[in-house]
Structure 1
Amino acid sequence: MTGPLTRRYRRLLLAYPRAYRRARGDELLGALLDAAPPGRARPTAREAADLIRHGLRARLGRPASRTVVAWAVLVAVVSGVFAAAFATRAGWETARPLPRAAEARAMLAEVLPGQEFDDIEDAPALFVIYGQPLSWNAAHSLLFFDGGEYAQAGVGGSAVGVPARPPGETVELVQRNLREHGWTVYPTTLRDMYGCVGPPCDPAAIPTGATIVARRGDTTFTMEVNPAYAGNPGYLGAVFQRATPVAVYPFGLVGGLLGAVVAFLVFGWASRRTEGRHPARVAVKPLLGVVLFFWWVPTLWTLPLAAQHHLDEPHPSWHPMWEWLGQPTFSLLFLVGCGAALLGLALAALPRPDREPVGTVPRAG
């Protein structure tokens, strides 16, 4: 059997396990060719989808199941995105060190001449939690829903009190100086300093703060300009950070693909192991549900919020990928899912009762 249609059918049959292809591949191929009308050069989309779906069911050890492929895909996708997030964290290690305090002070003098900024210090690490590098002392914060404090560090300072210039004049001066020194300036974000309390309430009377963001090379700049109002002193805050390194993207892509492939293969192994009369079959399915719940729910809840945040404000550099997945804020839920996954795999590894131990000598008849 040769020809383009035969070759294309054979490629689709690669979705089936090798043992299945050896036993029934020619029979299945013959049936497909017999059913094909004369002159057809390629399988239909429906045929291709059916062959791939049934082939994956066979690879997962459950050829009669209608849902096993969907469960496998859900596990592979969520595992892939988490693997990509871990890989991007490794990619961040390729970033240049943050500017030193002296360099930050010099850049601030270019941006806003004559303005003194306090508390300009060297950053202890690229990412910090409560201003300190990540350590075991932060485990309690990470595990009990305070992991949002783990964030990218920056070098900058602040000035509290009535500013030397009105806020509007400060914003215009900073934008002009940034452009003159080679920075790309993004649209300024304006925000009300408080909401209406009333009625009566005049929105036009609410003081407005501004956030200026810019980027030059691999350095990002953010400045908050807040006016004085109702006993609150004016405030200026500026910080320099590193933009996302280029290496983050290939790291994330490769890590995500590897994570998804490994997860699919491990799922297939566990599925084949627990098919039939396996003693852990009843327990493994609920554990899979626990894994998917604790991995997918925080991700689906956080992802639209992160997307909306990035749409509402300009970002010279997007937030790290793990924040889009709700990590490490929901790291406790992620670890619970990991524990359920490991327990399920350990149960799947138990010997099946319908298999004789290796080395057993058959008893004479």
Structure 2
Amino acid sequence: MSLIRRYRRLLLAYPRAYRRERGEEILGLLLDTAPAGRARPTPREAIDLIRGGLRCRLGRPASRTVGVWAVLTALICGLFTASVAARAAWETSRPQPDRAEFTTTFATAFPGHRLAADVQTAPALFVYYNHPPRLAQWHGLLLGDGGEYQEGAAAGSAAGPMPATPERTLETAVRRLRADGWRVYEPTSEVLRTCDGTGCDTADQPVQTVLVARRGDTVLRATFDDPRSFGSYLSVEAQRATPPAVLPVATLAGLAGGVLAWLVFGWASRRTQGRRGVPLLLGLTLFFWWMPALPATASLAGHHLAEPHPSWHPLWEWLGQPALSLAFLLGLAGATTVLAIALAPRREPRPVTVTPG
């Protein structure tokens, strides 16, 4: 490949209209300054051309912050795209554990403990109020009640009197699960305060202990409670772990979505240059999109650090979705308005005719 063709390929970073107007001029300057015998651009030249082209795509040469707005837009759009792709990749998972699988696992980990008859199973991978989401539920799902959309699970609790102490039950469960091929994580305990003030005896407060284990694509979570406070001393959940396809699919989709968002942002930025109100609309759009994501990420990060998580929470929950989807919809309305303004034809100033006096 000749040096000219390599330079032309790098010039693709610039918008088409800019290349038509100044592409040959830039190419000529590059060739004039290149020493004889050079076969390819230097790394510095390549970086400068790509950086200059990307900046040129954003337009607004007088703005010092347009690059920041473009990065924020590309990043959040890439994360939204990755979330959608991750949810699609979740369909490669096996169905959630049924009653037979859950009962067998419970008997393995907790011999001698009687399982209550009301074992709850999940009718779908993800449920809304323990039912498969339906189109008729969109209003509640998107407008304030989206936090009830979550991964399904098989769940049950121990019934009757406790046949062994909590310490003995936990020790037996760890030993038997490991013998059955489960990876058992270090149990975590938390004191649940039921009173406040100086007269509160913390030594008499109930303690909740959580045991987490994983085998293959199944995650087990057992919670040991004080029967004096909760009635049942043991509750157990089993659900599928994140399928292996989710990470690569979400990563590729996120990168593609981020690049596309950057290009669309640059096109809209150039088209709306000089139009009033567009920067305010863009700022409101990014505010509504980032506002749920930042606190949700901080909250989930602390939650993950506080206890074992062999399977992370889905990506969309880190973005505050769909629990705070109302903010997402407001941002989507702002972005749609900006694109509509960009699509509208620009009014060219009419020539002024001077009449001789």
Both proteins in one fold, TM over 0.5: yes
**Normalised by the size of structure 2, how large is the TM-score?**
0.86
Which amino acid counterpart does residue 335 of structure 1 have in structure 2? L
Runs of 4+ in 1 over 4 A off after TM superposition: 6-14, 25-37, 41-45, 47-53
2:231 equivalent to 1:233: yes
1:169–1:321 CA distance, 2 compared to 1 (3 A):
same
Aligned to 2:227, the other structure's residue is in SS state coil
Structure-to-structure mapping, 1:190-205, within 5 angstroms: 190-194=189-193, 197-205=196-204
* Pairing partner for 2:105 from 104, 107, 116: 107
Question: Which stretch shows the higher mean deviation, 334-343 or 346-355?
Answer: 346-355
Partners of 2:120 and 2:194 in 1: CA distance: 34
2:309 corresponds to which residue? 315
- Pairing of 1:77-156 with structure 2 (within 5 A): 77-118=75-116, 119-156=118-155
Deviation of the 1:254 alpha carbon: 1.7
Matches of residues 252-331 of structure 1 in structure 2 within 5 Å? 252-276=250-274, 281-331=275-325
CA RMSD of the aligned region, Å?
3.0
Q: What secondary structure does 1:80 align onto?
A: helix
Name the CA shift for 1:163/1:21 in 2 (closer, same or farther; >3 Å): same
Question: CA contact under 8 A between 1:161 and 1:233: conserved in structure 2?
Answer: no
Once residues 30 and 77 of structure 2 are traced to their aligned partners in structure 1, the CA distance between those partners, rounded to angstroms, is: 35
CA contact (8 A) 1:290 1:340 kept: yes
TM-score (norm 1): 0.84
Q: Distance in 2 between matches of 1:249 and 1:131?
A: 26
Moved more, 297-306 or 23-32: 23-32
Kept in 1, the 8 Å contact 2:113–2:159? The answer is no
Q: Does 1:337 align with 2:331?
A: yes
Choose 126-135 or 140-149, whichever is displaced more: 140-149
- Stretch deviating more after TM superposition (8-17 or 155-164): 8-17
Instruction: Provide the rounded CA distance (Å) in 1 between the counterparts of 2:308 and 2:211.
Output: 9
Distance (Å, rounded) in 2 between the aligned partners of 1:7 and 1:188: 61
Equivalent residue of 1:299, what SS?
helix
The whole-number CA distance in structure 2 between the counterparts of 1:114 and 1:355 is 86
Q: Deviations over 1:303-348 (max 9, x none)?
A: 1211111111101111101111111111111011111111221122
Q: After the TM superposition, which of the residue ranges 51-60 and 76-85 deviates more from structure 2?
A: 51-60
Which sections of structure 1, spanning at least 5 residues, go unmatched?
A: 357-365
Q: What are the ranges of 5 or more consecutive residues in structure 2 without an aligned counterpart?
A: 351-357
Contact 1:162–1:233 (CA under 8 A) maintained in structure 2:
no
Q: Secondary structure, in 3 states, of the residue corresponding to 2:287?
A: helix
- Deviation of 1:112 (Å): 0.8
Give the distance between the partners of 1:196 and 1:58, measured in 2 at CA.
62
The size of the alignment, in residue pairs, is 347
Q: Give the counterpart letter for 1:344 in structure 2.
A: V
Q: Are 2:288 and 2:331, in contact at CA under 8 Å, matched by a contact in 1?
A: yes
Q: Is the contact made by 1:56 and 1:69 (CA closer than 8 Å) also made in structure 2?
A: no
Percent of matched pairs sharing the same residue: 52
